[in-house]
Amino acid sequence: MSKAKLRIILFFGLIITSPWFITLSVNSQMINYTLPPRLIISNQHFVDNINTLRGELGPTNMISKLLVNKPVFFAKEVFQRYFESFDPSFLFFKGDPETTKSSHLAGAIYLSFLPFFLYGAYKNKPLILLLIVLAVPAAFFAPHFETLTRIPFLIGLTYLTALGTQKAYEKDKRIFSILVAFLFFEILRFFHNYTVHYPWFLAELLNKT
């Protein structure tokens, strides 16, 4: 099998077994597949917060306006959402806060992806820049740790993981086998949680709504 073919198989194999893909696909009836609300600089809550903080600093002057202002605080909100794409809890443990988009018993991807991803990134450094860019769109939408806006990022991350998996297979088959064994265990665990425990959380959510 050629390297390119192996890479493609690995890539698509990792995508279709990823928690985010499975959850979004299976729950497609329950999910609203439109873009979530955008971050807006003139949002009233935002403005109120800034006024409160300026009030706490004392009489409004140049310094309080420089320290607490809409552009800077808006930029901070954007940065916060940007960094959420790289948050370990979102990626490996909890995923999206919305129960229809994540079981909360796994992250968006498996923890076993991490060593393969790191190796793939190390061997393909220019692609890290692509990953950094792919995380940008999600930064401008209001919901925190939202999965739909992070699909391009997750795809890029999985591609690097596939590259790393392929390289690891070529480099050291023993270590590769151990890591793949962990990955299979994680996949099994995810499927167990998804089929046995997740329906209870979904039922609870549906009962509330």
Partner 1 sequence: MKFKAGDFLVIILIFTLSAVIRFYKLDDFRCLNWDEASFGYNAYSILQTGKDEYGTSLPMEFKSVGDYKYPFYVYSLVPIIKLWGLSEFSVRFFPSLLGSIAPIFLYFITRKLLQKRVIAFFSALALAISPWHIQFTRAGTEGGIAYTITLAGIYLLLKAVIEKRGSFVLPAIIFFLSLYTYFGERVFIPLILLTTVFVFKKEIIAKGRKLAKTAILTLFLLVPILLSVVSIGQGEKFAKTTIFGYRRPDEYVFELKAQGDSNPTVNIFHSATLENGLSFINHFLNHFSPDFLFVKGPTEDGRQYIWGMGMLYLTDIVLIIFGAAFLYKSKISTKYKKFILFWILVSPITSAITRDPVHARRALALTAPLSIITGAGMYYLILIIGKLKNSFIKILLASVFAASFIYFVAFYFASYYVFTSKRTAVGPSGWQCGYEEVVTATQKYKGSFNKIIIDTSYQGPYIFYLFYEKYPPQKYQRQARLLGNRSDTLGEGGGYDNYEFRAIYWPEDRYLTKTLFIGPPERLPEKDIKSEESQILEKVYPYNNGFLFHIVETF
Interface residues toward partner 1, by CB under 8 A: 53, 56-57, 66-67, 72, 76, 79-80, 83-84, 86-89, 92-93, 111, 188-189, 192-193, 196-197, 200
In the complex, the smallest distance separating the C-beta of residue 63 from partner 1, rounded to whole angstroms, is: 8
Residue nearer to partner 1 on the CB measure, 112 or 158 = 112
In the complex, the smallest distance separating the C-beta of residue 170 from partner 1, rounded to whole angstroms, is: 23
In the complex, the smallest distance separating the C-beta of residue 57 from partner 1, rounded to whole angstroms, is: 6
Residues 190, 106 contacting (CB under 8 angstroms): yes
Distance CA 133, CA 61 (A): 37
State CA 21 to chain mean position distance. 12
Residues 14, 161 contacting (CB under 8 angstroms): yes
Residue nearer to partner 1 on the CB measure, 57 or 133 = 57
Residue nearer to partner 1 on the CB measure, 60 or 89 = 89
Contacts with 19 (C-beta within 8 Å, 6 or more apart), sequence order: 95, 102, 103, 106, 107, 108, 109, 110, 190, 194
Q: Hey, what are 143's tokens?
A: 């919901």
Residue nearer to partner 1 on the CB measure, 12 or 182 = 182
In the complex, the smallest distance separating the C-beta of residue 5 from partner 1, rounded to whole angstroms, is: 33
Distance CA 98, CA 102 (A): 6
In the complex, the smallest distance separating the C-beta of residue 53 from partner 1, rounded to whole angstroms, is: 6
Residue nearer to partner 1 on the CB measure, 6 or 53 = 53
Distance CA 74, CA 123 (A): 36
